[in-house]
């Protein structure tokens, strides 16, 4: 019965994802009304609100007993994650990209049951990339199975990070030190400005690691994609503890394997220690 209901949830979520993504795709090159949330690096448009309202409205009508966590409706105060089926939604991840027409942007829908992710959907309709995963059933891109990279050496790894936090005064030195430390150890750094897709690129096997935390980053940025990574054979760990990620504490290192994750964890810790010593001088 549980597997049957998960099938029902998944099929309905896929339909909603396609409906929402059509709004995104149609609007990406249009004029948008843009508001700032935490700063000029954290934007929201009328399309973020429209997509989330549409998705949550239809989910509530279909599954009235379920709970919801959404970027625009939940706000900065996250509700407690319970054992109840809980939909976790980011109507447009990569809103700044969306505003500029940069094609790395997506709709994100995930479902947690008993505090564990069981469905993850990340869809970029501009590049026609539909990433999906269901707990215990593998990860897929456009219905084709995907697996993480087999690279074990960080010096051969392509790593994604978000350099935009340099704009925030209290994070500037820390972010610069992390970038400086990591770029010297890896083969290349990329900044895409979209957490869910960057994590999915690990699952796809074209990126080896991605580190993300900071203001404006929340559960909806990592929940669905964390399942997609793990179902593709990768790992997502807590940046502070190094243990398995708690999706309600979105300070994440995603990686193609534990070795790469541990090396990233170590480099970030070393960078933070150096940044702290510099601050104390």
Pairing of strands 188-190, 158-160: parallel
- Say whether 84 is catalytic: no
- Alpha-carbon gap, residue 263 to 265, rounded angstroms: 5
Active-site pick, 6, 162, 213, 221: 221
Q: Indicate the helix (H) or strand (E) that contains 255.
A: strand 252-255
Please check whether residue 163 is in contact with residue 175, taking contact to mean a CB–CB distance below 8 angstroms: yes
Active-site pick, 6, 72, 90, 177: 90
Active-site pick, 48, 52, 71, 263: 71
Residues near 93 by beta carbon (within 8 Å), at least 6 away in sequence: 105, 106, 107, 108, 122, 194, 195, 196, 197, 220, 221
Please check whether residue 236 is in contact with residue 245, taking contact to mean a CB–CB distance below 8 angstroms: yes
Closest-CA residue to 220 (of 247, 238, 198, 240): 247
- Say whether 109 is catalytic: no
- Say whether 42 is catalytic: no
- Say whether 213 is catalytic: no
Active-site pick, 23, 92, 113, 229: 92
- Say whether 153 is catalytic: no
- Say whether 65 is catalytic: no
Active-site pick, 17, 45, 86, 95: 95
Active-site pick, 6, 52, 72, 93: 93
Residues tagged active-site: 71, 90, 92-93, 95, 221
């Amino acid at each position: 019965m549980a597997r049957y209901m998960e099938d029902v949830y998944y099929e309905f979520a896929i339909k909603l994802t396609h409906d929402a993504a059509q709004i995104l795709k149609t609007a990406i090159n249009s004029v948008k009304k843009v508001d700032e949330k935490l700063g000029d690096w954290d934007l929201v448009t009328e399309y973020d609100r429209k997509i989330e309202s549409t998705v949550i409205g239809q989910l509530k009508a279909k599954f009235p007993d379920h709970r919801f966590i959404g970027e625009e409706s939940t706000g900065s105060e996250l509700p407690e994650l319970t054992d109840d089926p809980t939909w976790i939604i980011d109507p447009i991840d990569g809103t700044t990209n969306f505003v500029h027409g940069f094609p790395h942007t997506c709709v994100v829908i995930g479902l947690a049951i008993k505090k564990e992710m069981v469905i993850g959907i990340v869809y970029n309709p501009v590049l026609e990339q539909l990433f999906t995963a269901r707990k215990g059933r593998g990860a897929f891109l456009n219905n084709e199975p995907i697996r993480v990279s087999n690279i074990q050496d960080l010096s051969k790894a392509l790593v994604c990070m978000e350099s935009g936090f340099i704009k925030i005064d209290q994070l500037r030195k820390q972010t610069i030190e992390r970038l400086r430390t990591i770029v010297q150890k890896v083969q290349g750094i990329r900044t895409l400005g979209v957490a869910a897709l960057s994590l999915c690129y690990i699952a796809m096997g074209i990126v080896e690691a991605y580190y993300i935390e900071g203001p404006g980053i929340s559960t909806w940025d990592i929940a669905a994609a964390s399942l997609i990574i793990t179902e593709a054979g990768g790992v997502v760990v807590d940046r502070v503890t190094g243990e398995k990620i708690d999706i309600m504490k979105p300070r994440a290192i995603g990686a193609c394997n534990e070795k790469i994750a541990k090396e990233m964890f170590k480099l970030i810790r070393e960078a933070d220690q150096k940044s702290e010593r510099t601050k104390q001088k």
